Structure 1
Amino acid sequence: MRKREDYEEENSEMEEDEALDESVLEKSPEGMTLLDIPGIGAATAEKLINAGYRNMMSIAVATPGELMEVAGLTELAAKKAINYARDKLKMSFESADEVLKKREKIEKIKTPSEELNKLMGGGFETCAITEAFGEFGSGKTQLANVLSVYVQKLNPDYNVVYIDTESTFRPERIVQIAKAAGLEPERVLKNIKVARAYNSDHQMILAEKVEELIEKNNLPVKLIVVDSLTAHFRAEFIGRGTLADRQQKLNKHMHTLMRIADKYNLAVFVTNQVMAKPDIFFGDPTQAIGGHIVAHASTYRLYLRKGKKGSRVAKLVDSPNLPEGEAVFYVDENGIRDK
C-alpha cells in the first residue's frame, strides 16, 4: 500500500481551507471523506459536492477529465486523487458468494400482471436499468405509471423520480391506478417527484440531481422513470454527421443512471422510441433508437407491441439471467392486468 505522502502534490490552484459544513460530507465504510484525500481542501470539496461527487467512491470511479472540469484540479492532481481513493477503498476482486450476498438485498417491483412478473423473474429489479421500447400506443407509458404506483406497495414511503420528456405524465392516471391497487391516491402522488425535461441537457441534469434528492433531502427514492429516454436526443441530433455526438451523450446519460441505480439500490425504467429499418424484408423491421449504446447499457430490454383483441405483448429480448420469452397483458382503467 502506498503512503499518503506519495500522493502529495502542489496544485497550482490549491486553496486555503475554508469553513465547510461537514454534514454534507459522506463517509466511506472506512470512515473517510473527501477531505482525507491529499490535495482536496474545503473549497475543492465544496465544488465536488455541488457536482455530485460526495464520497470516496464517487472519486474512485471518476475520470481525471471529470474532476478537472468540475473542481479545477490539474490533470496530475486529479489522477493522484483518484488513485488515492481507489487504494483506500481497496477496489479489487471479490468472491462470487460475496456478490450473491449483495444481490440478496435487491428488491423486485411487482405489477398486477402475473404473466409480466413471471417474464421478469418475479418483478422489475432494483440495481438495474429496464428499457421498454415499442411503437406509439404499445403500453410503455402505462407500464411506467403502473411501476410508479406499485413500487409503493413494497414500502409506502418509497419515492419515485419521474423525468417526463414528452409531457405525457398525467396525475389523474396515477389516481386511477392507485385506487385499484388499494393505496391512498394523495400519498402516492406526493411520493412521485415529476420533472419536465425540455431538452437533452436538461434531461441529463435532472438525472444527476437524483443523488441530491437522496442525499440532501433524505428521500428514499426506489424508482427512476425516464419517459422517453431518446425523444430529445433524436430531435436535437439530426443526420449522420451528429450521430457520434448523440451517442456519446446518450452513453454518459445511461452510465449516470446505472451508477445511481447501483449505488442506491433503486430501479431505473426507461421508455424508448423505435424506427422501422427499410432494408429488412423478412421479419419485424422494428428497431429501438439509440443503437448499441442503449442496448448494452440496459440490463433488461422489453419489446412492447400491440397484440390481438386489445392486448399488449411484452417480449424479453435481452437479460443477463432470464430466458427470452413473451407475456400477454391488457391495459385498462385500473392499470394493467392479465386476461
Structure 2
Amino acid sequence: MALAPVVEAVLQTAVAGVMAGTLYGLMACGVGLIFGVMRVVNFAQGEFLMLGMYGAVFTAALLAPLGWFGVTTGAYLAVLLTGPPVFVLGLLIHRVVLSRATGLRAAGSEGEGHYAQMILTLGISLILQNLALAWFTAVPRQNRTPISDSAWSVEPIPGMDAAVFINQGQAVSCLVAVALVAAIYLAFSRTPLGKSLRAAADNPVAATYVGIRVERAHRIAFGFGVAITAVAGGLVAIYYPFQPYVGVQFLIIMYAAVVLGGLGSILGAFWGGMIIGVVQQISALFMPIELQSAAIFIVLVVTLFVKPDGIFGTNVDRV
C-alpha cells in the first residue's frame, strides 16, 4: 500500500477539520456568552446564524454597485456590517420577550424561569425560520466571491507526492474568525463592560448592590451573543450554500462545543468547537458520513465522564 495517498488523506482531513472547527468555535462563543452570563439555553441561536448569512449576502449586494471595494473585500466587509443590526435585534427581542423570564424576575420562580425560556426561544426560532422561508424562499444561496471556489495546493512534506488543497474562502474566513475570537476574549476579560457582565453572571443580587443593572447586562450579553453567531454565519456563507433551515444543523454543534469546552468559558467554547470540527472530519476516514454526529457525541460523552465541567470549564470561570 502506497504511503503518500494515506498521508494526503489524513492531512487533508486534518486541515478541513481545523478550518471547520475554527468557524464552529466562533459560533459557539456567542452561545457561551449568552449561557455564561444569563444561564439561558437559546434554541433560536441557529436562526440568528441564518440571519447573519442572509444579512451578509444582501449587504454585499448593496455594496457591490458602489464600486468602492472589490467583490471579495466587499463580501467580508458585509459580514462585519451584519453584526450591528443583529445586535440591535437581539436587544429588542430581549427587551420585549426574554426579559420577562430571565434575570432577577425569574429568581424564585419554578425552575428559575428555564421552562418559559425554552418555550420562548423555541417560538422565536420558529418565527424567524418561517419569516425567512416566506421572504427568501427555500432556494439555496451563497455569498460567492472569486475565492469561494478557489484553492491553494500545498505539499507539506518535501519529497512526498502528497498535496493538500485549502479552500481560499474558508481559509480567509478562519483567519477573520480567529481575529474576532481574540478581540472578543480581550473585550470581555479586560474591559469594564466585561467585568460588569461577569459580576452580573456570578452573583446578580450582589451586582445590583454595587450599581450594576443586571437586566441591562443580560440584554447586552444576549445582543452580543447573537451578533457573534450571526457574523460566524456570514463567514460560513462565503463558501457554504444555505437556506432558511440551515440553523438547525449547526445548533447542536454549537451547544456540543460549549458543553465540551466548558460552560461559561468563551475560550472553552472556541476550543470545544475546534475539537468538534477535527473529530467530525477525522471520523469520516473510517466511519460513514451519516455517523459523523455520532462520533461527536461519543467524544462529548467520554469527555464528560472524565471531566464533568468540560475540558476548560470550572465552577467559577465564565470568561
Is TM > 0.5 for Structure 1 vs Structure 2? no
The structure with the largest alpha-carbon Rg is 1
| Larger strand fraction of residues | 1
Comparing both structures, which one devotes a greater share of its residues to helix?
2
State the TM-score, normalizing by the size of structure 1.
0.25
